[in-house]
A and B are shown apart, each in its own frame.
Chain A
């Protein structure tokens, strides 16, 4: 149980284009979903918290107009990186929580912006 999927697992895009990443909880309903960014050999950096049907709460320093988050249902959240630039290249990971502090993570999406 508690399986979270992400799609795509990796994506290469050109600078200036937008990329959408999907996060799905496969066998439970996620009250809350989180989006993280991770640099090589470093810990997770929380970008935003989203609850189904409401606006996401962004962490300080994260541009909400650049990283658009939609949590349309209890099993799906999307992160759209708009007008991507090479500095946005990173490993993006989502997690989902049902009703406790335990978060279950997706496998991550490797984004490379050329």
Chain B
């Protein structure tokens, strides 16, 4: 069974601060997705990383996939109140065709104005 450890579980920061969320596993993933979810809504896909060592940037968000494809991080620069939400990482197993993802427990981010 593949597990994804996501940390921190809760994060409350002031507007303008930087933050990093981590997802770690002892298992290898073929790809890893990051989602953001707002209360009462479904998760929205932010990015998919596929290649070990890959770095993707989405405005103030930087996503990194570890070289061994066992871990990933999300870094937010100059956080804004609009970044508030539940951030979820999800990993896809190597091989197979059922597309079932392993989800981390989520990071609940609150950015205070």
Contacts and interface: CB of A to CB of B under 8 A. Distances in A.
Interface of A: 2, 4, 6, 31-32, 34, 41-44, 46, 49, 57, 91, 93, 95, 97, 100-108, 110
Contact of B43 (A44, A46, A100): A44
A99 B43 CA distance: 19
A103 B86 contact: no
B106 A101 contact: no
Contact of B42 (A32, A46, A93): A93
Contacts of B88: 43-44
Given A34-B100, A108-B41, A42 B92 contact: no
Contacts of A31: 99
Contact of A41 (B33, B45, B99, B108): B108
Contacts of A46: 100, 103
A57 B99 CA distance: 13
Given A4-B42, A101-B92, A43 B103 contact: yes
